[in-house]
């Protein structure tokens, strides 16, 4: 299996195993080549020699992004591998991870080097505190915990968890996780804004990326909100 999978022009993903409360949900990093030529690592994963070599072959890493309050576990390793890169994260995460040296606060205002590459939207009313990235040049939405997309799971507990939640083979967000949406009215307004973007694919952290009918899949997957 290649260290990096090409999602579309100038965007790649790296998928690794990851467990959460005994569930085998995996996680995924997205790598974007910016118009400047430098790279952005979105939601870093552990960087073994093969993955680091694949990244280095694409160009210089300029930015490392922790997009929400939970996708930060491997940030220290990414910073150690690329000490000249700028580390970005939400203000609340920076208060939580005082051991990390952040260089910029992640908000809806793009970093100057990203201005021509992304539109950003923070999902308010949700404890995850995630800022999602839209890449207009490729019509790609980059997110971590917006929706999940699991078609199967070899792990029996994970498989039954997904099936009982009605999200096995169905794009959505498990009912047990919906508690993180504390102000659904505010969050729904953010999702409606997100759906105004004409994205055609979605890079996700958990499950398979959405590459066909992605816009409809997200709209239907978030219809519960």
- Contact predicate 12/5, CB 8 Å: yes
What is the DSSP track for 17-81?
Answer: --EETTEE--EEEEEEE-TTS-EEEES-----HHHHHHHHHH--EEEEE--SSSTTTTHHHHHHH
Structure tokens that stand for 172 in this block: 């959505």
Q: What pLDDT, on the 0 to 100 scale, is given for residue 26?
A: 87
Return the domain boundaries, the chain. 5-217
Please give the CATH architecture assigned to the domain spanning 5-217. Answer: 4-Layer Sandwich (3.60)
Record the pTM. Answer: 0.95
Residue 2 pLDDT more than 60? no
Q: Mind listing the pLDDT tens digit for each residue in 100-158? A: 999 999 999 999 999 999 999 999 999 999 999 999 999 999 999 999 998 888 888 88
Q: What pLDDT, on the 0 to 100 scale, is given for residue 155?
A: 86
pLDDT (average), residues 75-84: 98
Q: Mind listing the pLDDT tens digit for each residue in 28-58? A: 999 999 999 999 999 999 999 999 999 999 9
């Amino acid at each position: 299996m290649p260290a990096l999978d090409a999602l579309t022009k100038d965007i790649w993903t790296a998928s690794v195993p990851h467990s959460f409360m005994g569930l085998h949900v995996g996680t995924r990093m997205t790598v974007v080549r910016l118009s400047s030529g430098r790279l952005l690592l979105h939601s870093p994963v552990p960087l073994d020699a093969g993955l680091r070599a694949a990244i280095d072959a694409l160009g210089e890493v300029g930015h490392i992004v922790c997009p929400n309050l939970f996708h930060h576990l491997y940030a220290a390793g990414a910073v150690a591998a690329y000490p000249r890169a700028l580390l970005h994260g939400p203000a609340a995460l920076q208060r939580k991870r005082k051991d990390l040296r952040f260089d910029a606060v992640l908000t809806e205002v793009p970093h100057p080097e990203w201005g021509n590459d992304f539109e950003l939207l923070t999902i308010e009313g949700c404890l995850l505190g995630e800022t999602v990235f839209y890449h207009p040049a490729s019509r790609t939405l980059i997110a971590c915990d917006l929706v999940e997309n699991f078609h199967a799971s070899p792990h029996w507990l994970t498989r039954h968890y997904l099936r009982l939640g009605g999200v096995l083979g169905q794009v959505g967000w498990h009912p047990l996780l919906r508690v993180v949406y504390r102000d659904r009215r505010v969050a729904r307004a953010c999702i409606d804004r997100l759906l105004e973007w004409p994205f055609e694919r979605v890079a996700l952290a958990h499950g398979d990326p959405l590459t066909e009918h992605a816009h409809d899949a997200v709209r239907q997957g978030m219809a519960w909100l």
